[in-house]
Amino acid sequence: MDLYAPFVRHVVAPLHALYEGNPIYSILRELEQTQWLSPEELRRRQWEKLERMVRHAGDRCPFYRERFAAAGLDPARFTLEDFQRLPALTKADIRKETPRLQAEGMQDVRIRQGRTGGSTSVPLEFVVDERSAQRKGACALRHNAWAGWHPGDKVAMVWGATDVDSTFKLRMRNLILDRRFALDTLRLDEAMMHDFARRMRSEQPRVVYGHSHSTYILACFMKKHGYAAPTVKTVVSTSTVLADVERAEIENMFQCKVFDRYGCEEVSLISSECDRHEGMHINLDHLFVEFLQNGRPVGPGECGEIHLTDLTNVAMPFLRYKVEDAGTPTAHVCSCGRGMPMMEKVQGRVADFIVTPDGRVIFGVSILDNFTAKFMGLERVQIIQDVIDHLIVKIVRGEGFDEKVVRGFQDRIPEFFGKEMRYDLEFVDEIPREISGKYRFTISKIPNPFQEAAGRAIGRTPPA
């Protein structure tokens, strides 16, 4: 039994926050109460925050003053329809217009620098005011608690490069407060996974936290090499889409439930599962989330491209930010009783969708669940669509691979992707990860289907 964890939770962590002047725990208490408000009250509060942010952006940001004028939006008085006429904020806008997106007159406000490479090699830089960062941190603690993860719990991280051991100060903080150790997914190999599995056995972490697919790879590796499940109480997956087959394998290995969540560096946590696992609660305390297809809102059960408005970051407002992911909203009301709206799932990055020659749009996660999961002996697979009627299928052979797999692919590809789809199978020793340490299962190099006529086909079911 880890006797130090409750001491950190109730003493060390609150005292550290008090020492730093960080109100994260008072904000957390507020968020723990507001989550139980009615959907109508939460929506009312969300709209008030949106109105304040739009007025602030119009008053302080040259970029938005021009954009509001061009769209005919009066920041002092506007409707939802007015707001939806505002053009999406793109990553290209942020890179080009960073100085004009930052709010003027913020000299007395503490600012944090942010940077993300996302799923490309082109970095995106932004700033966040300290108060916004504290609220985002408190929200993460609230959603951690849904999964049974509390301050002080030992955490095994399956992540890209981390800085927990980069300086003496950070090493001491990690030893006393954060209590994390990491498997660096940027340098993933068998020796490192063996070391990590053995360390999990000795450290006995309460939480496994990491990239969804990387955690799945770790679970498969531990199963293959006969490692017993450590005394993990919860697994929190994020950063990449969690497929059903991956969830099942992770839960089977660690003998506990997976709590999936969705977020990004730019705005932090967007949505996450609670202990009922009926979908993902959207973080409307801090975000205004839109699901759009061809620029128009979609209904429940339809997939749309996700646009985010940050309701807290006054240093650099993000209004209708096109995050380049797609997801499906739902009208389902979770049995947990929380008033936050829900989404079914994140379908993936827009560039992860395969568009078939006959106009169907197939989600990468659907391919994993309904196509490649049917074949044994595959260590890893990546499908790249370079033109509308051609796929490059990269395969890393695994244990039990034989020529039946090749014949199975040859039979299944026309059935799943259509008879017009051509393909080449490439057998490789390794499939490289992205600069972030994440692994992309599908990559499409053709135009974004949400901006094309093909986008109208989203929601059509691929062959089972």
Residue 452 lies inside a defined structural domain of this protein: yes
How many Cα atoms are found within 13 Å in the side-chain-facing hemisphere of 278?
13
Q: What is the structure's pLDDT at 322?
A: 93
What values do phi and psi take at 58, rounded to 5?
Answer: -65, -35
* Strand segments (E) across 140-277: 155-159, 180-184, 207-211, 234-238, 258-264, 268-272
Nearest one of 239, 196, 263 to 434, comparing CA atoms? 239
Q: What is the structure's pLDDT at 364?
A: 65
pLDDT above 50 for 462: no
Q: What is the structure's pLDDT at 455?
A: 37
- Higher pLDDT residue, 432 or 199? 199
Residue 286 lies inside a defined structural domain of this protein: no
pLDDT above 50 for 188: yes
Residue 215, token pair as written in the block: 């955690």
Q: What is the structure's pLDDT at 120?
A: 45
pLDDT above 80 for 166: no
Mean pLDDT, range 324-352, rounded to an integer: 87
- Looking at every residue in the chain, the average pLDDT score rounds to 87
Range of the domain at 430: 353-457
Residue 357 lies inside a defined structural domain of this protein: yes
Q: What is the structure's pLDDT at 207?
A: 97
Mean pLDDT, range 121-141, rounded to an integer: 89
Q: What is the structure's pLDDT at 162?
A: 65
pLDDT above 70 for 363: no
Tally the domains of the chain: 1
Q: What is the structure's pLDDT at 148?
A: 97
β-bridge mates for residue 209, sequence order? 157, 236
Residue 448 lies inside a defined structural domain of this protein: yes
Structure confidence at residue 457 as a pLDDT band (50, 70, 90):
very low
Q: What is the structure's pLDDT at 449?
A: 47
Q: What is the structure's pLDDT at 458?
A: 36
Nearest one of 370, 418, 359 to 391, comparing CA atoms? 418
Least confident range of 23-32, 151-160, 206-215, 359-368: 359-368
- Higher pLDDT residue, 437 or 152? 152
List the CATH number of the domain containing 434. Answer: 3.30.300.30
Mean pLDDT, range 149-162, rounded to an integer: 88
Q: How many residues does the chain have?
A: 464
Q: From CA 171, how far away is CA 350, in angstroms rounded?
A: 38
Mean pLDDT, range 361-366, rounded to an integer: 68
Helix ranges (H only) for 225-294 are 244-254
Residue 99 lies inside a defined structural domain of this protein: no
Residue 26 lies inside a defined structural domain of this protein: no
Residue 427 lies inside a defined structural domain of this protein: yes
Q: What is the structure's pLDDT at 186?
A: 66
**What pLDDT, in 10s, does the model give residues 57-95?**
999 999 999 999 999 999 999 999 999 999 999 988 998
| Cβ neighbours, 10 Å, residue 213 | 24
What values do phi and psi take at 167, rounded to 5?
Answer: -135, 165
pLDDT above 70 for 351: no
Q: What is the structure's pLDDT at 116?
A: 77
Mean pLDDT, range 289-312, rounded to an integer: 93
**What pLDDT, in 10s, does the model give residues 227-242?**
998 889 999 998 877 8
Residue 342 lies inside a defined structural domain of this protein: no
**What pLDDT, in 10s, does the model give residues 263-278?**
988 999 999 999 999 9
Mean pLDDT, range 189-212, rounded to an integer: 92
**What pLDDT, in 10s, does the model give residues 14-67?**
999 999 999 999 999 999 999 999 999 999 999 999 999 999 999 999 999 999
